[in-house]
Amino acid sequence: MKLLNIGCGTTYHPAWVNIDIEPLTKQVLRHDAAKPLPFADGNFDACYCSHLLEHLSRNEAQLLLSEMHRVLKARGIVRLVVPDLERIVRSYLCILEQVIIPTESVESSYDWIMLELIDQMVRVTSEGYMGQFLKECPSEVHEFIISRIGKDAVHYWDNRQQQRGVVARLTKQSPAWFIDKVRFALVCSIAWLLAGKKGVKSLREGWFRTSGEVHRWMYDQFSLGRILQKAEFTEVVICSPDVSNIPDFANYELDVINGTPRKPDSLIMEGVRS
């Protein structure tokens, strides 16, 4: 089978063709998912896309789904994983009722769910307030955060400095990374000449918000199903992390690792190319 993982980040399997806008290893091909996929029609048996769609505009997301439909074979399967807006909102409303008579743990849970709902849509610096909260939050709220975002939180607490160093070293090996840095420095110099400090600040914020870190849209089961149908996928279903119509999907450990869901806060849907 030919399998395509779009926007893989650090989660990929060598049996798949893996692409990402900022590859961290040579096993991953460089590609911006907001642009047409560089593959022939009907080339893949399955396409997988986890926690990427929300980083694209609605038009870009629709284009990507149309492109996945194009590169899939007949009866090929698309599997989408996104943060579940409905689940986040339900958790927020539940905790909001509890926080009226606050305890420290409930108040911290409230602070986290607010960040989960809003921070990644409005942040103007890397990691935003969410990163600051993870560094400083009391241990009483750790279990709740892990139930929301999985072991990513544990890795953040245990290995933050080490992981940042590894990512930095891998990224700096890329010529594109160096070129982007030089280009940005030149643009900032021009902005300072034309508009001063305020111009540079606006430029930095705008540059960051188009870097791919922020959320540009969110999805629930209705809107995600609708965008799949609009891209002409049929047999659209909601899946659990350990269930897929992609043969042997569990063996690749993309959504479940050692029996534990990688992203517990996710909505997972699949469709079939007609």
Tokens of 234: 């049929």
As a whole number of Å, the end-to-end CA separation of the chain is 18
Q: Is the per-residue pLDDT at 165 higher than 50? A: no
Tokens of 32: 């911006």
How many CA atoms does the CB half-sphere of 139 hold within 13 Å? 0
Burial class (CB in 10 A: 0-12, 13-18, 19+), 248: exposed
Helices (H), ranges, the chain: 58-71, 85-98, 104-122, 128-136, 142-149, 151-172, 175-209, 221-230
Provide mean pLDDT across the span 6-29.
95
User: Which pLDDT belongs to residue 156?
Assistant: 86
Provide mean pLDDT across the span 92-100.
93
**Per-residue confidence band for 129, with pLDDT thresholds at 50, 70 and 90:** very high
% helix, strand, coil for the chain, step of 5: 50, 20, 30
Which own/partner contact pairs does 132-136 have at CB distance under 8 Å and 24+ positions apart? Answer: 135/160
Model pLDDT for residues 229-264, shown as the tens digit of each residue: 999 999 999 999 999 999 999 999 999 999 999 999
Q: How many CB atoms lie within 10 A of CB 26?
A: 8
- Average pLDDT of the chain is 90
Q: 216 versus 154: which is more confidently predicted?
A: 216
Beta bridge mates, 272: 77, 234
Provide mean pLDDT across the span 191-204.
87
Tokens of 167: 């990512």
Tokens of 209: 């918000």
Provide mean pLDDT across the span 54-72.
97
Are 47 and 68 spatial neighbours (Cβ–Cβ below 8 Å)? yes
The DSSP secondary-structure symbol of 48 reads E
**Per-residue confidence band for 160, with pLDDT thresholds at 50, 70 and 90:** low
Model pLDDT for residues 29-38, shown as the tens digit of each residue: 999 999 999 9
Provide mean pLDDT across the span 133-157.
90
Model pLDDT for residues 33-52, shown as the tens digit of each residue: 999 999 999 999 999 999 99
pTM metric for this prediction? 0.87
Q: Is the per-residue pLDDT at 171 higher than 70? A: no
Residues listed for the chain: 274
Write the CB contacts of 142 (distance below 8 Å, at least 6 apart in sequence): 153, 157
Tokens of 66: 């149309």
- What amino acid occupies position 130? M
